[in-house]
Amino acid sequence: MAIPERVPMREQDPKVRITNFLSVPLGYSADEAVREAKRCLQCKVPLCETGCPVRMDIKDIIHLIADEKFEEAFFLSKKDNAVPAMTGRVCPQEEQCEGKCILEKKDRAINIGKLFAFVADWAREIDLVNESKPEENGKKIAIVGSGPASITCAVDLRKLGYQVTIFEALHMAGGVLQYGIPPFRLPRDVVDYELSYLEKIGVNIQLNQIVGQNVEFEELKKEYDAIYIATGAGAPRFLNCEGEKLKGVYSANEFLIRVNLMKAYQFPNWDTPIVCGDKVGVIGCGNVALDAARCAKRLGADSVRIFYRRTKEFAPAREEELKHAEEENISCEKMLSPTRVLGNDDGWITGIELVTTKFVGEDKSGRPKPINVEGLKFEVKLDTLIIALGTTPNRLFLSNVPELDTYSWGGIKADENFMTNIPGVFVGGDALSGGSTVIAAMGDGRDAAEAIIKYLNK
Ligand code: FAD
């Protein structure tokens, strides 16, 4: 039997969308979602589920969508995933559930991410979630950070009656979902609605609380039965080259925080603009680099050029993001590495010096290792440079809790049960892995919740 083609996702026209921060995909209609769900072969052994770190019942959810049982589909997806509208939008499904879909080999995988986003959006529109607060069991858990690892751990524990308090350093909860990923990929009404679920079930979220600074870690140890550290990996890596401290040079983290969290994209409605010139260069080619480049375009930059030391096929960014960036006229210039940032007497950036790279062997990631080719240097004029070379765990927290065992790169060490060297103190998400994905952090949160329950009930 011929398998119908994947139902295409309608998107904002690239020419229009570079003038706004609204969602690029327009979402499936009910009819489109049902047609897409009906493509599913309902495999006896659903390989897609093996690719999901939070172990969602993907096959059954798709079956319910195909039968137009959206309400049941939503509750089944919510059982294992507190934020399905968000993961439906930002998960790298092509490497996870969709990557395992048998149809991927024959044609195109079921569009699992967009189907789950559809169902969650449908439920949000009618405010389907109306949960009561589970009764408390007398055990108190503190969670440091409020990103996806924290959210999942908090929800799993709270549902079983644990009293959960999240301490978040920033003035808004959500971690990277709130301050990193831009609204055109993850609309903020979706973020706010899914986060409101935590309060509905009685998770206490304390904002503007920096554990290790205005909240003492020792106090948390005394007051709570267990602690989960989910502080992420929000400290940027730099080039460490001449000129990097010039005005107009940003780390991608700072740039995205100013745009997303401090709402520079809503200037002048928000009085917090950002300086972004006409000619913007971005170093790196991961999701963070692409998010920064696409924000710069939307802030009005004329030319946005990504400089990458490998070729696009080895870039860590999601396929979908690379395609969207290309459609938005953002160039990705390969085999180039920056050597120096150029500036004027007023301390502002004027350009960048780049050198051509070549591949020599492989590096630790298994990708070709780029090295600079001496002598092949040239200059490019720029008004703004954004550096997106990856991140590491925040040293500020670690320096205030020196008794925690850490790796030299800043990750917190844990045993196979996610427990650190301090009994009753657990860790997960990017603070443990050094940088991964939303759903992997959520998987960590789920595993940590199970480990905490075991620890407290042994
Ligand atoms: P985070 O989301 O980083 O949350 C940590 C939280 O802890 C933050 O809110 C921080 O303020 C808080 N915190 C830190 N220190 C303290 C302290 N001392 N006291 C209190 N609070 C503290 N993944 C995908 O799957 N798909 C994508 O498309 C994608 N795009 C990305 C785009 C960007 C710009 C970035 C930066 C990352 C992206 N990722 C993506 C990766 C993904 O977002 C992360 O892997 C994930 O958010 C990690 O979750 P976490 O809970 O460990 O930490």
Of 386, 381, 183, residue with least CA distance to 298: 183
Sequence-distant (6+) residues with CB within 8 A of 105 are: none
CB 285 within 8 A of CB 312: yes
Q: What is the mean pLDDT of the chain?
A: 94
Question: Which two structure tokens, joined as six digits, stand for 376?
Answer: 């092949």
Q: Which residues line ligand 1 (CB under 6 A)?
A: 90-92, 144-150, 167-170, 175-176, 180-181, 209-212, 230-232, 234, 256, 287-288, 291, 318, 394, 397, 429-431, 435-439, 441
Tell me, yes or no, whether 72 lies in a domain.
yes
243 shares its domain with 228: no
CB 233 within 8 A of CB 431: yes
255 shares its domain with 333: yes
CATH of residue 369: 3.50.50.60
Instruction: Sort strands 349-362 and 336-343 into parallel, antiparallel or unpaired.
Output: antiparallel
Identify the band that residue 365 occupies on the pLDDT scale cut at 50, 70 and 90.
confident
Q: Model confidence over 5-29: pLDDT tens digits?
A: 999 999 999 999 999 999 999 999 9
Tell me, yes or no, whether 74 lies in a domain.
yes
Distance, in Å, from the CA atom of 230 to the CA atom of 428, rounded to the nearest integer, reads: 6
Indicate the residue type of 413. K
Of 338, 340, 336, 341, residue with least CA distance to 308: 336
Burial class (CB in 10 A: 0-12, 13-18, 19+), 282: buried
121 shares its domain with 20: yes
CB 76 within 8 A of CB 69: no
Helix (H) or strand (E) holding 286: none
Ligand 1 atom with least separation from CA of 215: 19
Is 98 a residue whose pLDDT tops 80? yes
Kindly give the distance from the C-alpha atom of residue 43 to the centroid of ligand 1, in angstroms, as a whole number: 34
- Tokens 């550290």 map to which residue? 229
428 shares its domain with 355: no
Ligand 1 atom with least separation from CA of 288: 34
Ligand 1 atom with least separation from CA of 151: 51
User: Of the residues 389, 420, 438, which one is the last residue of a structural domain?
Assistant: 389
344 shares its domain with 355: yes
450 φ, ψ (degrees, to nearest 5): -60, -40
Tell me, yes or no, whether 82 lies in a domain.
yes
Ligand 1 atom with least separation from CA of 209: 20
Q: Model confidence over 124-142: pLDDT tens digits?
A: 999 888 778 888 999 999 9
Kindly give the distance from the C-alpha atom of residue 217 to the centroid of ligand 1, in angstroms, as a whole number: 21
User: Of the residues 389, 406, 421, which one is the last residue of a structural domain?
Assistant: 389
Sequence-distant (6+) residues with CB within 8 A of 257 are: 179, 180
- Domain with 20, as residue range(s), is 14-125
Identify the band that residue 112 occupies on the pLDDT scale cut at 50, 70 and 90.
very high
Q: Model confidence over 222-277: pLDDT tens digits?
A: 999 999 999 999 999 999 999 999 999 999 999 999 999 999 999 999 999 999 99
Kindly give the distance from the C-alpha atom of residue 234 to the centroid of ligand 1, in angstroms, as a whole number: 7
77 shares its domain with 170: no
CATH of residue 55: 1.10.1060.10
256 shares its domain with 378: yes
243 shares its domain with 382: yes
Q: Which residue's CA is minimally distant from atom 39 of ligand 1?
A: 437
Tell me, yes or no, whether 131 lies in a domain.
no
Output 319 or 193, whichever has higher pLDDT. Answer: 193
Tell me, yes or no, whether 8 lies in a domain.
no
412 shares its domain with 344: no
156 φ, ψ (degrees, to nearest 5): -60, -40
**For 34, what's the count of Cα atoms within 13 Å in the CB-facing half-sphere?**
7
